[in-house]
Amino acid sequence: MPRPLLNMSIGNVVRGGVAKGEPGESGVVGRVSWDPFEQANLGELLDHGESRTSFMLRFTISHPGMHTSIVGTLSPDHLQQNVDAVERGPLPDDVYSEVKKRMTEVGQAPEWIG
């Protein structure tokens, strides 16, 4: 009996979609700039109590062509925060569109933002 062929589709992987986390959180040497986030006034789109990293992780998983996101973590607590963000699910369509618009307006839209 012939073996079935595997589906050899290609997927999109996002790495670094959360800009290495909040300043002071990541342990990464050097300054991680959240200036574009602030210039685009994205803070006003966050749900009450939501962190910027949670919001940006949800933005990343909202992209319709994204299949996998590589997200770093520092500790079990940080891992749980990432899991909680993903369990909340993608951003609502109107919020996702607004983020793309604002990032484009400040000249910071990544190429994949399309």
Q: For 19-34, how does the pLDDT look when each residue is reduced to its tens digit (9 = 90+)?
A: 656 655 555 555 567 7
**Confidence band, pLDDT 50/70/90 cuts, at residue 44:** very high
pLDDT digits (tens, 9 = 90+) for 77-105: 888 888 999 999 999 999 999 999 999 99
Domain residue ranges in the chain: 14-19+32-107
Q: Which amino acid is at 44?
A: E
Helix H or strand E encompassing 13? strand 13-15
Q: State the Cα–Cα distance between residues 32 and 45, nearest whole angstrom.
A: 21
